[in-house]
Amino acid sequence: MPPKIVVITGPTATGKTRLGVLLCQRTGGEVVSADSMQIYRGMDIGTAKPDAAEMCGVPHHLMGVVSPHDNFSVSRYVEMASACTDDILNSGKLPFVVGGTGLYIESLVSGRSFAEASDSTELRLALSAEYDKLGGERMLNILKEKDPETALKLHSNDKKRIIRALEVISLTGKTKSQHDRETKLVPNRYDALKIALTFEDRTELYGRIDRRVDLMMERGLENEVRTLLERGISPACTAMQAIGYKELASAILGKCSISEAVETIKRESRRYAKRQLSWLRRDPEIRWIFWKKEPDFEKAVQLSTSFLEEYGIISA
């Protein structure tokens, strides 16, 4: 039987970090971050990376461990996170995987590579250049010839997924649809209790997101982005594609005003939250906790504890 772990997830700005800390304090657990941008050093404000006070003495892993210069991938995350999770388990403690990057969580729990074990940045850049040269329609037609099943699910404007599908074929000799079917037959690496947080009323979630963006600006997000650019971090690198950093980098480089960038950050953050919810709702195993106007962490801890007991992770 695979070892049991706990996942705390949900859309942005729903209190995942706080609930994870509270549950770790109750169980003696440790946090493994599942946030694709908190992994980077020097990107603290815009990724809502918890500080020492917010961590409350609970060990947090995989935060600020990668240079923003690096093009980090899901395969590297699985390698690092699984080693970290296994270390926590081997020490007799409970790992809490906390974050909102659905693909990272799914990849870690399943132990599947998603064809990224042979990750090739050079190949990806070449396919990206080919897409820019030939256009989306032509690249989608190329994919149709090689993997019609995947191509039917994609739009010609979906550059990232078209490139990914062609990359899988080059790296594995299999279509992405074939690879996905085969990997789904592999047993999960971990038996995960998944708890997701969100608000009953989506307008409450969106309002909370907007307020958090304003707070990030008050805390110095603009200066954080300026510092990254001054350090030579390219606006085109993976780290700088994070919401908040991409928009402010454009403003700093004179492509728009700061106020326009802030409004774009809010809009893109709301859209990201919507995509996160869509991803999570396809998983029937998730136990949901719905907030009303404000998070009720005392009630959430009680409910989560009952989930842990039902799942056999802790005794009643």
Q: Which two tokens stand for residue 268?
A: 């893109």
φ and ψ at 5, to 5 degrees? -135, 175
* Fold that domain 121-183 belongs to in CATH: Histone, subunit A (1.10.20)
User: 46, 32, 14, 13: which is closest to 192 by C-alpha?
Assistant: 32
Q: Which long-range CB contacts under 8 A does 151-157 form with residues at least 24 apart?
A: none
Give me the residue label for tokens 């079917």. 181
| DSSP state letter for 314 | S
SS3 265: helix
pLDDT value at residue 113? 59
pLDDT, tens only, 304-315: 999 999 999 999
| Res. 117: pLDDT tops 50 | no
Out of 109-113, 149-153, 236-240, 297-301, least confident range? 109-113
Tens digits of residue pLDDT in 46-95: 999 999 999 999 999 999 999 999 988 888 999 999 999 999 999 999 99
pLDDT tens digit string along 225-277?
999 999 999 998 989 999 999 999 999 999 999 999 999 999 999 999 999 99
Q: For the chain, what is the mean pLDDT?
A: 93
Q: Where in the chain is the domain with CATH 1.10.20.140?
A: 121-183
- 170 band by pLDDT with thresholds 50, 70 and 90: confident
CATH C-level class of 4-112+188-218+276-310: alpha beta
Mean pLDDT calculated for residue range 25-44: 97
Extract the tokens encoding 306: 């009952």
| Beta carbons within 10 angstroms of residue 215's beta carbon | 12
pLDDT in tens, 128-145: 899 999 999 999 999 999
Q: How far from the centroid of its chain's Cα atoms is residue 115's Cα?
A: 18
Residues of the chain with CATH 3.40.50.300: 4-112+188-218+276-310
